Amino acid sequence: MAVDEDAAAQSPSASGSGRWGGWSPLPPPGRLRTLSLATLANTVGSGLWLAGGALYLTRDVGLSAASVGAGLTVAWLVGLTASVPLGGLADRRDPRTIRAVLQVCQAAVAASFLLVDSFPVFLVVAVFETLLASGNLAVRAALVAAVGGPDGRVHAFATLRAVANLGIAVGAGLAGFALAADTHLAYQALVVGNAVTYLVSVALLLRLPAYPPLARPDRVAAAPRRGRALRDGRFLAVSGASAVLALQWTVLTLVVPLWTVTRTGAPPAVVSVVLLTNTMLTVLLAVPLSRGANDAARAARAMRRAGLVLAAAMLLYAATGGLPSAAATALLVLATVVYTFGDLWHGTAGAGLAYDLAPPDAVGTYQGADGLLAGLARALGPGLLTLVILDGGAPGWLAVAALFAVTGVAVPALTRRALAVRSAGRPPASTAGEHPADDRPSAPV
């Protein structure tokens, strides 16, 4: 499915220049812009809830922090079970319609947090929320593949990641008003605002054309076999390696903040600087750094690079221990810059591998399996990494760095094994039915 790198570099949509309009992460008018706007609306709500949800549940509802944490852990482990089935459904039905229906359901569940008054009620609502969220990620991946087409789906993924970070930043900023007020009404407004953003996203999604299975360009005639992704051991090996590197998400969002305030001389406010640095670099660099991950072989090399760069970032974080304020602050920011490059290469490489190693008629199912493994990493990461790093200190950072480096180096070999099976048994995604010229999105993606 490889797209020529020189041609990609000259494309305005691939390079982030031309019709992109300066610093805006939004693509030119067309289907990808419509999907980007839907994502922006949705992630503004995500930012509202990420910044204020825990405080709403503890300060307004009255749950303990421990019960909220335990409930969310259980909910996410249950929610992972929806990833593969709903991804498979997106292979057999229109992913745009499925995503719209799921988001209407998510709006209702998000609003139902207003009814939470005890731990059992919270757990029920949280389980429904995570079942929908986990399944929706796989459906979204199938929709991105349909909108972007075989040669544009990794670029579309990177675009949506940049837009999502912008939306989360905006939502988190808006949540600050509710948190500053710290009243029952303010927290209720935060919950309602999150629910409304799902409905705005649905309205935008419905402006996209339908992508019924028989009309989708990456669809082949044979019906997908149920559970095929979970039986594809070579694909799962590649996806599992990507999931190991996905432990880095916990590093930035949990380990680095706790390490900063307990093991370095940097002031607590530096945590905000670190997170803002990552967010802004992601908005600016997600699309430019996505080039070269359009096919599995190139994506595997990008994954190797990601593992090595993430390992270097872990070593830099380790070096901040015990440093005085100014030096610790400077090194934390530098480490976060390095980390962000590795994070972005990992994200786009993971998308390129999951798309290109999947049979063209089972993109949603394979994305669901990939999401299942990544979700397990998210679930296990907090307990594992806090134990290894916060209790282990610098040797813990070194162990995680070694894990990332070894995993990244292993990905090209694992990918070659998976490609050998694909070459022997099924055609590459890029030759399995391209978009006809008159059926491409209205702007290049």
> Is 252 within a domain?
yes
> Is 235 within a domain?
yes
- Cα 249 to chain centroid, rounded: 10
Spell out the alpha helix ranges (H) of 289-441: 296-319, 325-356, 363-385, 394-425
183 plus 290 within the same structural domain: no
161 plus 31 within the same structural domain: yes
Q: Which domain holds residue 113?
A: 25-219
30 plus 96 within the same structural domain: yes
Instruction: Please say which residue of 167, 185, 219 terminates a domain.
Output: 219
- Across 147-195, the runs of DSSP E, i.e. the strands, are none
> Is 445 within a domain?
no
Among 275, 232, 241, CA closest to 425: 232
Look up the CATH number of the domain holding residue 30.
1.20.1250.20
Tell me the C-alpha distance between 107 and 133, whole Å. Answer: 11
pLDDT tens, residue order, the chain (445 aa)? 333 333 332 233 333 333 334 456 788 889 999 999 999 999 999 989 987 888 899 889 998 878 887 888 888 889 888 888 888 887 788 999 999 999 999 999 999 999 999 999 999 999 999 899 888 888 988 898 889 888 888 888 889 989 998 998 898 888 888 888 889 999 999 999 999 999 999 999 999 999 887 544 444 444 445 567 888 999 999 999 999 999 999 898 889 988 998 899 998 888 888 888 998 999 999 989 988 777 899 999 999 999 999 999 999 999 999 999 999 999 999 999 999 999 999 999 999 999 999 888 788 888 889 989 998 988 888 888 988 998 899 999 999 999 999 999 999 999 999 998 766 554 444 333 333 333 323 332 2
What is the number of domains present in the chain? 2
- Across 203-263, the runs of DSSP E, i.e. the strands, are none
183 plus 282 within the same structural domain: no
Instruction: Please say which residue of 219, 240, 266 terminates a domain.
Output: 219
Rounded to 10°, the helix 270-285/325-356 angle is: 40
Number of Cβ atoms within 10 Å of the Cβ of 58: 15
> Is 84 within a domain?
yes
213 plus 79 within the same structural domain: yes
Sole residue written with tokens 């982030």: 16
> Is 10 within a domain?
no
Radius of gyration of the chain (CA): 21
64 plus 213 within the same structural domain: yes
Tell me the C-alpha distance between 342 and 6, whole Å. Answer: 23
210 plus 259 within the same structural domain: no
